[in-house]
Amino acid sequence: MAVIRTVAILLALLDLAACTPRPLVLWHGLGDSATSKGMLQFADEIKSVHPGIFVHSIYIDEDLDQDRRAGFYGNVNEQVQLVSEQLSAITELEGGFDAIGFSQGGQFLRAYVERFNSPPIHNLMTFGSQHTGISDIPACGPRDFLCLIARRAVKGAVYGSWAQENLIQAQYFRDPANLDAYYASNSFLTSINNEIAEVRNGTYARNLASLNKLVLVIFTKDKTVVPKESAWFGSEVIVDDEPLRDNVQHILLPGRILVPMEQQPLYQEDWIGLRELDERGDVVFAECEGEHMQIGDCWEALVREFAG
């Protein structure tokens, strides 16, 4: 009888584990914080979709105002390291989790996957993220003084050592007209995209390819992320320096074209495991109608399918 009871308990535990949603981790975007009203509301909405799900919202600082400030000022490499330590200390995440990154939080979560991924991410969803960087600084609200000061500093000396160490947006600013300066000074985006051949890291490709699904969401009318196709690993190039210009379908500013993911060296030579994921059928391209982070209800179907 004791053996029967033990087997029954084990079966019950297995059944409970099968019914428990996989945990979910969120990383907010620029100008937001882990405990803002919007993030807390979004977590509650997810819990209504997946009852019983454990949701953790990543923070750089537990103080709401300081956490928001950390989205503008700080060193991204250090922040990703801090987040890896934060996630590894959470018992509920030990078996792995799904993750959603909003705007810059998306490429930061990808950096976590490539560099650490312990505990591992199962499905990663990124909304309007700047995977191949930005070529213009997003505009700020007229009274968002924190944003206005950061924007002015970035535009003033984006590839200076101080900006590259202390201004978040500068660390994923990729100017197609000044790539030499970008390669020489940037230590975040060049790293997670494995753009520098001399220090290319094979672990990044293996880790990213270990994802079950990479869901890339673009906002169809996004004017904040330039180019918006960065969310789908597209990037701008200067026409005169790009032999693909005769076949290009997307013309941007005069003298610039958009190169889609499949034509990027990053993809063709599979520097980060993206091509392996795609050829396996595990890169999902999705759209949200509207401007940057006008998420509406387009998240729900994705969360139902790829989270929990």
Specify the CATH number for the domain of residue 198: 3.40.50.1820
Location of structure tokens 């919202």: 57
pLDDT bin (cut points 50, 70, 90) of residue 150 is confident
Q: Mean of the pLDDT values across residues 60-66?
A: 97
Sorted by sequence, the CB contacts under 8 Å of residue 214 that are 6+ apart come out as 123, 124, 126, 208, 274, 277, 282, 283, 284
Residue 11 maps to a domain: no
Domains contained in the chain, number = 1
Q: Is the pLDDT of residue 241 over 60?
A: no
Residues 79 and 57: their CA atoms lie apart, in Å, by: 14
Q: Mean of the pLDDT values across residues 149-174?
A: 88
DSSP state letter for 139: P
Q: Is the pLDDT of residue 243 over 70?
A: no
Q: Mean of the pLDDT values across residues 162-179?
A: 95
Q: Which domain holds residue 252?
A: 25-306
pLDDT bin (cut points 50, 70, 90) of residue 2 is low
Residues 258 and 245: their CA atoms lie apart, in Å, by: 9
DSSP 76-110: HHHHHHHHHHHHHT-GGGTT-EEEEEETHHHHHHH
Q: Mean of the pLDDT values across residues 260-277?
A: 97
Specify whether the CB–CB gap between 124 and 212 falls below 8 A.
Answer: no
Q: What is the pLDDT of residue 4?
A: 57
Q: What is the pLDDT of residue 142?
A: 78
Catalytic residue positions, numbered: 103, 222, 292
Residue 218 maps to a domain: yes
Residue 92 maps to a domain: yes
Residue 50 maps to a domain: yes
Tell me which residue of 18, 232, 249 sits closest to 129, measured CA to CA.
Answer: 232
Specify whether the CB–CB gap between 298 and 305 falls below 8 A.
Answer: no
Residue 30 maps to a domain: yes
